[in-house]
């Protein structure tokens, strides 16, 4: 199929669904049914259509499908940030599952954006549904999307009206982790992270306090608010370790903060874990290779993304209409940064 340009040169025009139908000797509706694979088409007819598609190298227009079927074949995922192993793992799990459902993924990072709520609403016009991570936007935005009929799954935050949710368990294993440190004899344990900025961090702080309550004592330190990157952990630890009554153990809200704490402790000449025990959260790949290897809590980062994609697919395709809320399990991973010389066989997981 050819067309003339203004200069008289011939260029090849992309084949259309009409060309496929003409070559196969069928209607365009039959071609569409074969492509969707959702309706019965006689085997000889299907073979003719598929052969015509291959011979013409036909590729359907995504825009055309969107107009015809009232869908975009795309979903959106809204994250506070895209850097770091936690976010990248969740996104990878999500994209794998979304691609298997035949949908592309549009990603919006709200970090340092002043109009994140407006931008999420604009993104909703370009996709069939949204996954929203953490506290990137308020409940009022999610409720507004629900009123507009946009399927929404919230990730790593409490449920919101009308939306599905998926998150990892925090409180139980945070309590177990801090109880493990108390069992080592630590009385001055500090928590680094910002419970106000993250639902996950807030629940980990809740477990921190619960472990102290179970031991009949109050925490020696209030939560030390800091960002969730390695540099944030280092800066917070430098200030904390410079005080006259430094902690003997630090519970970091994630592994990146813990890595910053390790650096700050070494800079002060502290022996790890003898002078300072350190724990993290997530069990990112590098955690077991640190010196000392990091005691942490493993959460299913890939599965968080996969389950978010699966729940969103169910709402988009109307497999169900009622919201579903899932909490995925986490597990304590005991290594040497807490003071253990060997991993636990009960109540903890070996590296």
pLDDT confidence of 116, banded at 50, 70, 90?
A: confident
Q: What pLDDT is recorded for position 339?
A: 95
DSSP state of 170: -
CA distance 325 to 92: 21
Q: What pLDDT is recorded for position 334?
A: 97
pLDDT confidence of 164, banded at 50, 70, 90?
A: very high
DSSP 204-265: HHHHHHHHHHHTT---SS--B---SSHHHHHHHHHHHHTSTT--SEEEESSHHHHHHHHHHH
CA distance 153 to 145: 11
Mean pLDDT (whole number) for 264-275: 96
Average pLDDT, the chain: 87
pLDDT confidence of 190, banded at 50, 70, 90?
A: very high
Q: What pLDDT is recorded for position 108?
A: 87
Q: 């910053």: which residue's tokens?
A: 260
Any residues with CB less than 8 A from the CB of 45 and at least 6 apart, and which?
24, 26, 30, 34
Q: 195-234 in b/e burial notation, b at 16+ Cβ within 10 A? A: bebbbbbbbbbebbbbbbeeeeeebebebbbbbbbbebbb
In contact, 280 and 258? CB cutoff 8 Å: yes
Work out the percent of the chain whose per-residue pLDDT is above 70: 87
CA distance 72 to 196: 36
pLDDT tens digits, 31-60: 877 876 656 788 889 899 899 988 888 776
DSSP state of 10: E
Q: Which of 135, 100, 90, 131 is nearest to 116 (CA)?
A: 135
Mean pLDDT (whole number) for 241-252: 93
Q: How far is CA 100 from the centre of its chain?
A: 17
Any residues with CB less than 8 A from the CB of 220 and at least 6 apart, and which?
187, 188, 189, 190, 247
Burial of residue 35 (CB within 10 Å: 0-12, 13-18, 19+) is: middle
Minimum mean pLDDT range among 32-41, 200-209, 224-233, 261-270: 32-41
Mean pLDDT (whole number) for 221-250: 95
Q: 């825009």: which residue's tokens?
A: 63
Report CA Rg, the chain.
26
């Amino acid at each position: 199929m050819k067309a003339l340009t203004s200069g008289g040169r011939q260029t090849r025009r992309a084949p259309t669904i009409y060309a496929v139908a003409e070559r196969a000797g069928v209607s365009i509706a039959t071609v569409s049914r074969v492509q969707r694979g959702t309706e019965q088409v006689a085997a000889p007819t299907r073979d003719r259509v598929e052969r015509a598609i291959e011979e013409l190298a036909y590729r359907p227009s995504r825009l055309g499908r969107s107009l015809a079927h009232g869908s975009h074949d795309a979903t959106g995922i809204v994250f506070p940030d895209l850097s770091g192993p936690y976010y990248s793992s969740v996104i990878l799990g999500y994209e794998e599952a979304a691609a298997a459902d035949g949908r592309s993924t549009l990603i919006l990072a709200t970090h340092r954006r002043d109009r994140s709520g407006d931008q999420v609403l604009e993104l909703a016009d370009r996709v069939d549904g949204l996954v929203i991570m953490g506290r990137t936007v308020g409940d009022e935005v999610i409720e507004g999307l629900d009123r507009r009929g946009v399927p929404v799954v919230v990730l790593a935050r409490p449920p919101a009206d009308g939306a599905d949710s998926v998150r990892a368990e925090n409180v139980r294993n945070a309590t177990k982790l801090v109880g493990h440190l108390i069992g080592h004899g630590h009385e001055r344990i500090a928590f680094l992270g910002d419970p106000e900025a993250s639902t996950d961090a807030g629940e980990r702080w809740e477990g921190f306090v619960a472990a102290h309550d179970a031991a009949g004592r109050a925490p020696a330190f209030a939560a030390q608010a800091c960002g969730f990157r390695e540099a944030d952990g280092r800066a917070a630890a430098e200030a904390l370790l410079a005080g006259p009554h430094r902690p003997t153990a630090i519970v970091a809200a994630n592994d990146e903060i813990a890595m910053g704490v390790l650096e700050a402790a070494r800079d002060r000449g502290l022996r790890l874990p003898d002078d300072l025990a350190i724990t993290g959260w997530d069990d990112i790949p590098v955690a077991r290779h640190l010196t000392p290897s990091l005691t942490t809590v493993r959460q299913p980062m890939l599965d968080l993304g996969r389950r978010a994609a699966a729940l969103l697919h169910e709402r988009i395709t109307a497999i169900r209409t009622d919201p579903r809320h899932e909490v995925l399990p986490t597990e304590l991973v005991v290594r040497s940064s807490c003071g253990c010389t060997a991993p636990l066989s009960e109540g903890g997981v070996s590296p």
